[in-house]
Every structure is written in structure tokens, then in C-alpha cells.
Amino acid sequence: MTSKKKRKIVAMKIILDHIMPIPLASVQHNPESIWGSFVEINPGEKILLNASSGKGKSTFTLTTVGLRNDYTGEIRYDEQSIREFTPNNWAAMRREKITVVFQDLQLFPNLTVGENLLLKNSLHPVYSELEIRKLLERLDIDSKWDQQCALLSMGQQQRVAIIRAMCQPFELAILDEPFSHLDTENAKRALALIEDRCNEQGAGFVLTTLGETHNFTFDKELKL
């Protein structure tokens, strides 16, 4: 990762203004829950979103990045409601400002590991092929470059999905249970890689987990 790829600290702030997903509206939420509250995600903040199953961690991810709109309240990126975003605005946002590791990973099973990563990197090239291979090496899956993603284990797929999310410039990474199939050592390595990449760009991240902190000191913890 060269110095020219380092970005200035950016100022995109995300505000969840009394968001309530409609499917969760009838559920009694904890007073500390972000649902129905005013929440700010400030630039560069590293946030843990801790909740048990079924509380809406994936709903938070999909709603925040505009993939679900069945909610009340308002989400604003830099004072602009995301309901006003056009498909092209979203494409630019997902290409340059927000990156996501989906819980179901969303890899292309028929493409190889290398193809999955190069395809993403082609949108806004931040790495050379060699650098991408080095990232794979860091997570101990460099030997899988030519392997079809469909043939990888879940843990290996998770690591590919994490690296794919890093192959773009971003100001915020939303990571939806990205280590659920990783052992402690691999999770630690992956988290270190994410932190390095965020620090390079002055970006922040939101990590959703089932309670595991991975021995990381977060700036803020949110609950559902």
C-alpha cells in the first residue's frame, strides 16, 4: 500500500435519525437500541455493533447502504437523505465511500478468487494484482487465487469477501459478522488488515458481532 493511496481524513457523517425498520416496529427494543434513536456515525470512528441473533444486524447493514427502504425515520449522509439518492448516486457511493462485507458474502461463485477481486478492483483501481495477492497472503489464502469461489470453505470465502471490500477507496466499512466462520487467529489477522486499510484512508468501520470484541478497542459501541 503506497503513500499515494493515503487519503485525507474525510468528513462524511452518517446520521440515523430515529430509524425503525417496519418488520421490527412491533418488537419491544432495549432503551439503548439504535432503533428509534438518534445515532451519529462520525468520520473515522471504529464502532462495534453488538447484538444477539434476530435483532437486526443485517437489517442495519442493508438499510444503511440503501439496499432496504422499509423503515421509518431518516438516514442522512452529510445532511442529504438517502431516499433522495438516484441509482447512479448509490453506484458512486458504493464505489468510493462505503464498502460492505455482507453476511452472505455476495461473491461470484463461478469466478475464481482472483477474478472476484480483480473485478471489484477494476471499478476504482487501488491495488495492482501483486498487491492483491499480498493481501491474500496476509490472510493465508494466496494459494487459492485460481480456485473457483464456489469450491472454497466458508472461512476462506469470508476472507476473500473481506479483501474484496478493501479493494476500493472508502470512508466507512460496514462489516456484517465478517469473522463468523474464522478461528481466533484468522479473525485477528483479518481485523488487523481492516484496521490498517482504514487508517491509511482515515476511514472508519462498523463491525457487527454476536458479542465477540476480538480484543479490539472500539471508539464506540452500539446496541440493537
Partner 1 sequence: MLNKLLFKNQDKKQLVIAIIGAFMGITFLVTSIHYLIKLNEFGKGSDILGPNTVIVQKKVSNSSSLNLTKTDFTEREIEKIKRETFIKDVKPVISNNFDISFETADPMVPRFRTDVFIQTVDPTFLDVTPANWKWKEGDEFVPIILPREFLVMLNTFMSASNIPQISDDLAKDIQFKFALKDTIKKEYVNARIIGFTNEVSSILVPESFMEYGNKKFTTGAEMKITQLMISGKESEFGLVEELLNAKGLESKNAQMVVGRLKSVIGTLFIVVLGISVIAVFVSGLVFIQYMQLLISRNAYEVRTLLRIGFDPKVVSNSFFYYFVKIFGIVGFLGLSIFFVFKYFLDKMFETGGLFLDKQPSLTALFALIFTYVLFSFSSYITAKKGIYKQL
CA torsion sign for 192, 193, 196, 202 is: negative
Locate 169 and state its grid cell.
477507496
- Minimum gap (Å) between residue 108 Cβ and partner 1: 6
Stretch that binds partner 1, among 8-16, 117-125, 126-134, 194-202 (CB under 8 A): 117-125
Q: Which of 87, 211, 215, 217 binds partner 1 (CB under 8 A)?
A: 87
Give the list of residues 6+ apart from residue 65 with CB closer than 8 angstroms, or none.
Answer: 94, 98, 100, 174
CB of 166 to partner 1, least distance (A): 12
Q: Please identify, among the stretches 52-60, 92-100, 129-137, 197-205, the one whose residues bind partner 1 according to the rule CB under 8 A.
A: 92-100
- Sheet holding 14-21: strands in order across? 38-41, 14-21, 71-77, 80-81
Q: If you compute the radius of gyration of the chain from its CA atoms, what whole number of angstroms results?
A: 17
In the complex, the smallest distance separating the C-beta of residue 119 from partner 1, rounded to whole angstroms, is 5
106 binds partner 1 (CB under 8 A): yes
Question: Contact between 124 and partner 1 (CB under 8 A)?
Answer: yes
3-state secondary structure of 158: helix
Per-residue cell: 208: 457487527
Angle between helices 184-201 and 154-166 (to 10 degrees): 10
Q: Which is nearer to partner 1, 35 or 97 (CB)?
A: 97
Provide the pairing of β-strand 38-41 with 14-21: antiparallel
Quick note: the x/- pattern for partner 1 over 166-205, rule CB under 8 A, is: --x-------------------------------------
* Residue 118: alpha-carbon gap to chain centroid: 18
Binding site for partner 1 (CB under 8 A): 67, 87-88, 91-92, 94-96, 100, 102, 106-108, 110-111, 115, 118-120, 122-124, 164, 168
